[in-house]
Amino acid sequence: MTYNNLLYEKSEGIGTVTINRRIALNALNSEVLTELYQIFGELESDPEVRVVIITGTGEKAFVAGADIAEMQTLDAVGIRKFAVKGRKICDKIYNFSKPVIAAVNGFALGGGCELTMCCDLRIASENARFGQPEINLGIIPGFGGTQRLPRLIGMTKAKELVYTGDMIDAQTALALGLVNKVVPQASLMTEARELARKLLSKSGATLAQAKRAMNTGANMDLSSALDLEEECLTVCFATEDQKEGMKAFLEKRKPQFKHR
């Protein structure tokens, strides 16, 4: 895989995608969005990758936002196309069958904050900052911020962040439930890989059903979501991993999952 704006590394079942536009604080322009969409398409079909970590180059920014230099040249038709491109990659990550961990190493603002929210789990360095500052530019979030943020932290605080454009620090993000854990900058990737290895010890087939039940069910009424949960549980009972997991439990040993 060769990309102009991404670095990629694969090791022991973990794929690490690093957004690499240091000169622009890893801002998301059209090319970055296209490359992210492409790489996640390739990772979806790579059986050797079962967990993905996404992060940014350097210690200052995960993604400082969408690329304002590109956006300010666009008219209404152009911005609609740009927003669609951003939504497509966010939806792709959200619906990705494998767990995705955001290792937030600095500013995660605007499109960067929206990118973290479509990941399954988020670990932030102590210097990370989150926000939806679009209101200060005379616009609103366009990659899902007005919709995913209320679902994660509640409508009241989400409106405060979107209406004011204020940034919050990592500990505030943790208190709001926007991130799972805050760690020192120096240990961020170590912590992210440790979490990824924990997920690798689980059944990939089962994790896919858990993600499907939770992500899809979140947008259903409760009765329909419970029906979906039953369906996903039933699918689990058609896997080899379910049989191995229960057998291992009864034999008091660790399961040896085959991810099928």
Q: Report the distance separating Cα 160 and Cα 220, nearest Å.
A: 26
Could you tell me the two tokens for 23? 């000169």
Query: Active-site residue among 114, 126, 191, 229?
Result: 114
Q: What value does the mean pLDDT take over residues 21-31?
A: 95
pLDDT digits (tens, 9 = 90+) for 147-159: 999 999 999 999 9
Q: Report the distance separating Cα 260 and Cα 257, nearest Å.
A: 8
- % the chain with pLDDT above 90: 98
User: What is the dihedral sign for C-alpha 108, 197, 98, 247?
Assistant: negative
3-state SS, residue 16:
strand
Give me the sheet containing 14-19, strands edge to edge. Answer: 6-11, 14-19, 51-56, 100-104, 121-125, 181-183
Q: Report the distance separating Cα 176 and Cα 135, nearest Å.
A: 21
Going along the chain from its start, the domains and CATH numbers come out as 6-200 (3.90.226.10), 204-250 (1.10.12.10)
Distance (Å) of CA 141 to CA 66, 89, 98, 136: 10, 15, 26, 11
User: Helices marked H in 154-256 — which ranges?
Assistant: 155-164, 170-176, 188-200, 204-217, 222-236, 240-250
- Structure confidence at residue 1 (pLDDT): 65
Q: N- to C-terminal Cα distance for the chain?
A: 26
Side-chain-side CA neighbours of 26 within 13 Å: the count stands at: 29
194 is known as an active-site residue: no
**What are the two backbone dihedrals, phi and then psi, of residue 258, each rounded to the nearest 5 degrees?**
-110, 0
Kindly give, in sequence order, each residue whose CB lies less than 8 Å from that of residue 245, ignoring residues fewer than 6 positions away: 203, 206, 255, 257
CA 238 to chain centre: 28
114 is known as an active-site residue: yes
pLDDT at position 2 over 90: no
Query: Active-site residue among 31, 70, 134, 230?
Result: 134
pLDDT digits (tens, 9 = 90+) for 214-250: 999 999 999 999 999 999 999 999 999 999 999 999 9
Burial class (CB in 10 A: 0-12, 13-18, 19+), 134: buried
Beta strand 181-183 with 121-125 is parallel
Q: What value does the mean pLDDT take over residues 171-192?
A: 98
Confidence of residue 67 (pLDDT cuts 50, 70, 90): very high
